[in-house]
Amino acid sequence: MLKQLQEFGLKYEVWNAIDGRQGLPGHYESHIDRERTRQHMGRNMSDTEFACALSHRAMQQTILNRKLPGALILEDDAVLTESIPGIVSLLPLKEQDLTLLYHQGGYAWRRAGPISQKHNARRITLHPNGAVAYYITQEAAARMIDANTPVQYVADWPLDLSRISACILQPRPVQVTLTNSAIEGSRLDMKKVRSMRFLRSMRFLRRSYWRRKYLKLVSDKLC
């Protein structure tokens, strides 16, 4: 990825992420809330997931500390396409606090707004997975930090993206390598802490369930 950035002539700063593969370092325990994680997510989060979320939150905090208008954050498995230099020159997109250059799944409004000859921007209705590549403004960074302090949710995403100005780009200007993710592997090892029968019986009583149902009907599922 660094070689690609250099070839495109893009300036960058390397941020050494927190490593949770051998367990989360003890001094980070005061920055997370494992019990609230179980309550909100219905499962335990692995230490690698906590480490990833802490790393993203630290980068977002740096945006605030340096009073930057925003920043493009790339994880180390990002693969940049040839359209990246042109996309970077357009960031931040008008009236968008968060722009996902990579995404997996999710839903977006059917209307698409062209930002270049090759790419369209679509507002998010139900957030996709993947924090591999995204541009985030100072305002959105502050909201992300507020929503995930102490850390109780994965990096992608601790708040409802449909309630802020967030969009995805199509086609995706960033891809990912095909190597196995340590985070994904650890996530598969986590067991549900609530019974699925209980979740099924309770979800129909929640307003959020019916809101998601409505949004799925009026928007498009993303590949």
pLDDT per residue as tens digits for the range 153-184: 999 999 999 889 999 999 999 999 865 565 65
pLDDT value at residue 213? 84
User: By the 8 A CB rule, do 120 and 220 touch?
Assistant: no
What domain count does the chain have?
A: 1
- Among residues 102, 92, 88, 100, the alpha carbon closest in space to that of 68 is found at 92
pLDDT value at residue 194? 47
The mean pLDDT values, 10 residues at a time, for the chain of 223 residues are 93 94 95 93 93 97 97 96 96 96 94 94 93 97 97 95 93 83 57 48 64 85 85
pLDDT value at residue 186? 56
From the number of C-beta atoms within 10 Å of its C-beta (0-12, 13-18, 19+), residue 31 rates as middle
Cβ-based neighbours of 64, under 8 Å, separated by 6 or more: 138, 141, 142, 145
pLDDT value at residue 203? 54
Range of the domain at 56: 2-221
- Among residues 98, 125, 123, the alpha carbon closest in space to that of 212 is found at 125
Match 């601790």 to its residue by tokens: 158
pLDDT value at residue 195? 44
Paired sense of beta strands 98-100 and 166-170, if any: parallel
Cα Rg of the chain (Å, integer): 18
User: By the 8 A CB rule, do 128 and 98 touch?
Assistant: no
Q: Output the pTM of the full model.
A: 0.87
Q: The CATH number of the domain where 41 resides is what?
A: 3.90.550
